Amino acid sequence: MATTKASNHTPLYEFHRTHGKIVDFAGYDMPIWYTSTMEEHMAVRNRAGIFDVSHMGRLDVTGPDAARFIESLFPTGIGKQPSGKSVYTLLLNENAGIVDDLIVLKVDEGKYLLVVNAASKEKDLRHMERVGAGLNFKIDDITDATTMIAVQGPSALEALQPLTPLPLADMKRFTHAFSTVKGIRAVITRTGYTGEDGFEIIVHDAASGAMAVWEALMKGATPCALGSRDSLRLEAGLPLYGSDMDETTNPLEADLGWVISKDKKSYVGWQRLASLMQQGPARIRRGIVMDERIPRRDFKVTDKAGEEIGVVTSGTFSPVLKRGIAMGYIKTPSPQLGETVEVVVRDAPSKGKIAKLPFYDDSLFGWKRKPHQQ
Average pLDDT over residues 291-319: 97
Last residue of a domain, one of 235, 261, 293: 235
Same domain, 60 and 187: no
Same domain, 113 and 165: no
Same domain, 231 and 107: no
Q: What is the CATH number of the domain that holds 327?
A: 2.40.30.110
Same domain, 42 and 152: yes
Listing DSSP states for 120-156 in one string gives GHHHHHHHHHHHTTTS--EEEE-TTT-EEEEEESTTH
Same domain, 267 and 301: no
Per-residue pLDDT for 139 more than 90? yes
Q: Which domain holds residue 112?
A: 55-145+250-280
Last residue of a domain, one of 235, 260, 294: 235
Q: What pLDDT digit, counting tens, does each position of 8-25 carry?
A: 999 999 999 999 999 999
Is residue 32 included in any domain, yes or no? yes
Percent of the chain with pLDDT over 90: 94
Is residue 60 included in any domain, yes or no? yes
Same domain, 47 and 61: no
pTM: 0.95
Listing DSSP states for 319-356 in one string gives TTTTEEEEEEEEESSPPPTT-EEEEEETTEEEEEEEEP
CA distance 168 to 188: 9
Same domain, 326 and 354: yes
- What 8-state DSSP symbol labels residue 259? G
pLDDT score for 4:
45
CA distance 258 to 321: 27
Q: What is the CATH number of the domain that holds 229?
A: 3.30.1360.120
Is residue 210 included in any domain, yes or no? yes
Same domain, 38 and 151: yes
Is residue 1 included in any domain, yes or no? no
Last residue of a domain, one of 210, 235, 260: 235
pLDDT score for 6:
56
Q: What pLDDT digit, counting tens, does each position of 180-202 carry?
A: 999 999 999 999 999 999 999 99
How many domains does one find in the chain? Answer: 3
Is residue 3 included in any domain, yes or no? no
Same domain, 154 and 131: no
Same domain, 36 and 172: yes
CA distance 265 to 285: 25
CA distance 359 to 113: 31
Same domain, 42 and 154: yes
Is residue 320 included in any domain, yes or no? yes
pLDDT score for 7:
83
Average pLDDT over residues 132-157: 97
Determine the Cα angle at 317 with ends 311 and 322, to 5°: 125
Q: Cβ neighbours of residue 198 under 8 Å, at least 6 residues apart?
A: 48, 150, 151, 152, 153, 156, 190, 191, 192
C-alpha dist (Å) from residue 128 to 59, 110, 115, 141: 11, 16, 14, 13
Average pLDDT over residues 55-68: 98
Is residue 154 included in any domain, yes or no? yes
Average pLDDT, the chain: 96
**How long is the chain?**
374
Is residue 34 included in any domain, yes or no? yes
Q: What is the CATH number of the domain that holds 271?
A: 3.30.70.1400
Same domain, 155 and 176: yes
With bands split at pLDDT 50, 70 and 90, how would you rate the model's confidence at 321?
Answer: very high
Phi, psi of 258 (to 5 degrees): -70, -15
With bands split at pLDDT 50, 70 and 90, how would you rate the model's confidence at 145?
Answer: very high
Average pLDDT over residues 236-252: 98
